[in-house]
Chains A and B, each alone.
Chain A
Amino acid sequence: MSILVVAEHDNHELRPATLNAVTCAREIAAHLENSAIHLLVAGHDCAVVADAGAAIAGIGKVIQADATSLGRQLPEDMAPLLRELAGNYSHVLAPASTTGKNFMPRLAALLDVAQISDISAVESADTFVRPIYAGNALATVQSSDPVKVITVRATAFDAGATGSNKAPIASFEFSLEQDLSRFVSENLSISERPELTSANVVISGGRGMQNGENFVMLEKIADKLNAAMGASRAAVDAGFVPNDMQVGQTGKIVAPDLYIAVGISGAIQHLAGMKDSKVIVAINKDAEAPIFQVADFGLVADLFKALPELEQAL
């Protein structure tokens, strides 16, 4: 049986997390015989994404489901589509993004199977590791369901290579009229910076930043390092910055080469979102802050003095 990976995209661009999910699929396929990996691109006017998907190494076929109703990938449309396709596959994978987390459990329930959330390692074709308790424990789980419906923690798998392949693209006709859910509007943050979950460098601010205006100090450093900007829950709850910047157990999971935490105390819920970063720097004036326990390099200092110095030194 083959593996189906659901591409993450916005009808124009393939999101990088797809490449990590494909790597996970290849790890599973290594435990199976004659298992091909297919990529589903479901959307509207998404041919350019299908082309990008066909170039990913390891993809045997791209299935393009192109319909007006799929343009927003609402779970009420995606789950029935995937149910039609799932019978041909032993595994269905999607990145554990807010999109994948929305439709994959819905799919699993339609198939009457368990869903396996946010896996961080593959032990065999039916056994996987996933973090629980905000990453304070790793559970190894084994599924005996005929179809394994899995969301993949992108930061736990390398991004697969792309550009070398030219997989065939098959179109899949799907139309469903549903009125359970209608798309109304979207309010997306527009940023010139790298995407938070795939950036090589992330600089995050916490309550210690005191207000939203002070995040300009982080922006200046982010500009020099080509870094993405993040924040702790405290900073988001206080209204300093928008929610899509939140790093943590229930926000975004990041694992960059360099993570700089500024004015963040380091609650376990925040650590859950960044402690797999390669190098962690913490700048905080409280020497007792728990963030220093996970930091490779800690600087006990007033951030309002340290940040301008850091900007100068870079």
Chain B
Amino acid sequence: MKILVAVKRVLDANVKVRVKADGSGMELANAKMAMNPFCEIAVEQAVRMKEAGQAEEIIAVSIGPQACQEQLRTALALGCDRGILVTADDEVAPLQVAKMLRELVEREGAGLVILGKQSIDSDNNQVGQMLAALGGMGQGTFACRAELADDRILVTREIDGGEQTVSLELPAVITTDLRLNEPRYASLPNIMKAKRKPIEQLTPADLNVDTDSNLKTLRILPPAERAAGILVESVEDLVGKLRNEARVI
């Protein structure tokens, strides 16, 4: 079985982000970028399945500017076999990303697609579900466990009330939640080896996808700041303030 994994280049999760003064977007110039944390979990899951003899090949796909090569190299160093970069300079919306991935799933004959449940920049949480719909596949979103069972895959999902397990026909789409696994670090020899692994370059047109979206971002503004709070001296003081000033207890 081939596994396709999608990886997104995003602002590093530990970097404090600022909104541009003109409302046109975020201050990302010279900011530290990284692989989306949920995508790291997706890569790890694919690599573990290959190590367990459940997959022969892992293909990592990234869609975005040339700089996404960095994240693809990271995926290759972690154990993916080859990369595909679909170059697009402007941000591509989830539906268009899903359309490109659908085309790649078909071309490659992937038996399983693993993606992060959401990217920590746009916070959409859509691509996996859309890809599953377009490809006529079942979806196991927000996964915390996944195991092959005959010709299907059992996926346990983190849901609001607890956990839910579904059995999906293959090929299927899985989106990862935080507890699926703990991603490894790439070793130096593997980082060196990754430099020789192939990355194919494609354009959205190669995949017959028009990147125009009907959803336009008009402006991006910072949220209202909370008024500064105070430090209280004791529990007694705290309870007094909650009772008499804030009146919330």
Report which A residues bind B (CB closer than 8 A).
Answer: 10, 72, 74-76, 79, 97-99, 101-110, 112-118, 127, 130-145, 179-189, 197, 201, 225, 233, 236-237, 242-244, 249-250, 252, 257-258, 268-269, 275, 278-281, 292, 294-301, 306, 309-310, 313-314
Contacts of B62 in A (CB 8 A): none
Q: List 9 A–B pairs whose Cβ atoms lie within 8 Å, in order of A's numbering.
A: A75-B141, A109-B95, A113-B95, A140-B217, A144-B215, A182-B166, A237-B178, A297-B246, A306-B235
How far is B249's CA from A314's CA once the two chains are assembled, in angstroms?
Answer: 9
How far is B161's CA from A10's CA once the two chains are assembled, in angstroms?
Answer: 11
With contact pairs A97-B160, A109-B134, A138-B221 given, residues A300 and B117 touching in the complex (Cβ less than 8 Å): no
CB atoms of A99 and B160 under 8 A apart: yes
Contacts of A106 in B (CB 8 A): 129-130, 132-133, 139
Closest 3 CB pairs of A and B: A180-B138, A105-B129, A109-B133
CB atoms of B246 and A98 under 8 A apart: no
* Closest chain A CB from B196 CB (angstroms): 35
How far is B177's CA from A104's CA once the two chains are assembled, in angstroms?
Answer: 18
CB atoms of A98 and B142 under 8 A apart: yes
CB atoms of B214 and A143 under 8 A apart: yes
Q: Does B108 contact A (CB under 8 A)?
A: no
- Could you say which of B19, B98, B138 contacts A137, with CB atoms under 8 Å apart? B19
Q: Does B68 contact A (CB under 8 A)?
A: no
Considering the complex, which residues of chain B in the window 83-138 have a beta carbon less than 8 Å from any beta carbon of chain A?
Answer: 93-95, 98, 117-118, 120-134, 136-138
Considering the complex, which residues of chain B in the window 227-244 have a beta carbon less than 8 Å from any beta carbon of chain A?
Answer: 227, 229-232, 234-236, 238-239, 241-242
Interface centre among A113, A115, A143 (most CB of B within 10 A): A115
Contacts of A115 in B (CB 8 A): 94-95, 124, 126, 130
CB atoms of B248 and A258 under 8 A apart: yes
How far is B117's CA from A114's CA once the two chains are assembled, in angstroms?
Answer: 17
- What is the chain B residue whose CB lies nearest that of A197? B160
CB atoms of B242 and A140 under 8 A apart: no
CB atoms of B239 and A279 under 8 A apart: no
Q: Does B33 contact A (CB under 8 A)?
A: no
- Could you say which of A118, A180, A298 contacts B136, with CB atoms under 8 Å apart? A180
CB atoms of A279 and B214 under 8 A apart: no
Q: Does B192 contact A (CB under 8 A)?
A: no
- What is the chain B residue whose CB lies nearest that of A136? B17
Considering the complex, which residues of chain B in the window 152-174 have a beta carbon less than 8 Å from any beta carbon of chain A?
Answer: 154, 157-169, 172
CB atoms of A132 and B129 under 8 A apart: no
Contacts of A295 in B (CB 8 A): 229
Interface centre among A79, A138, A278 (most CB of B within 10 A): A138
How far is B128's CA from A108's CA once the two chains are assembled, in angstroms?
Answer: 12
- Could you say which of A116, A186, A244 contacts B215, with CB atoms under 8 Å apart? A116
How far is B26's CA from A230's CA once the two chains are assembled, in angstroms?
Answer: 31
How far is B249's CA from A258's CA once the two chains are assembled, in angstroms?
Answer: 8
Q: Mark B210-224, 1 if CB is under 8 A from A, else 0.
A: 000111111111110
CB atoms of A135 and B223 under 8 A apart: yes
CB atoms of A189 and B161 under 8 A apart: yes
CB atoms of A141 and B141 under 8 A apart: no
- What is the chain A residue whose CB lies nearest that of B126? A105
Contacts of A98 in B (CB 8 A): 141-142, 157-160
Contacts of A281 in B (CB 8 A): 238, 242
Contacts of B220 in A (CB 8 A): 132, 137-140
* Closest chain B CB from A246 CB (angstroms): 8
With contact pairs A109-B129, A187-B163, A299-B232 given, residues A250 and B177 touching in the complex (Cβ less than 8 Å): yes
- What is the chain A residue whose CB lies nearest that of B158? A243
CB atoms of B165 and A185 under 8 A apart: yes
CB atoms of A102 and B162 under 8 A apart: no
Contacts of A109 in B (CB 8 A): 95, 98, 129-131, 133-134
Q: Does B21 contact A (CB under 8 A)?
A: no
- What is the chain A residue whose CB lies nearest that of B229? A296
CB atoms of B169 and A181 under 8 A apart: yes
- Could you say which of A79, A142, A225, A299 contacts B218, with CB atoms under 8 Å apart? A142
- Could you say which of A137, A179, A313 contacts B222, with CB atoms under 8 Å apart? A137
CB atoms of B249 and A134 under 8 A apart: no
How far is B249's CA from A133's CA once the two chains are assembled, in angstroms?
Answer: 32
Interface centre among B133, B178, B227 (most CB of A within 10 A): B133
- Could you say which of B122, B167, B179 contacts A181, with CB atoms under 8 Å apart? B167
How far is B126's CA from A79's CA once the two chains are assembled, in angstroms?
Answer: 13
CB atoms of B141 and A102 under 8 A apart: yes
- What is the chain A residue whose CB lies nearest that of B221? A138
With contact pairs A113-B95, A142-B218, A306-B235 given, residues A297 and B242 touching in the complex (Cβ less than 8 Å): yes
Contacts of A116 in B (CB 8 A): 215
Contacts of A233 in B (CB 8 A): 178
How far is B240's CA from A309's CA once the two chains are assembled, in angstroms?
Answer: 13
With contact pairs A105-B125, A117-B124 given, residues A75 and B139 touching in the complex (Cβ less than 8 Å): yes
- Could you say which of B16, B160, B248 contacts A279, with CB atoms under 8 Å apart? B248
How far is B137's CA from A144's CA once the two chains are assembled, in angstroms?
Answer: 28
* Closest chain B CB from A120 CB (angstroms): 9
CB atoms of A112 and B242 under 8 A apart: no
* Closest chain A CB from B26 CB (angstroms): 6
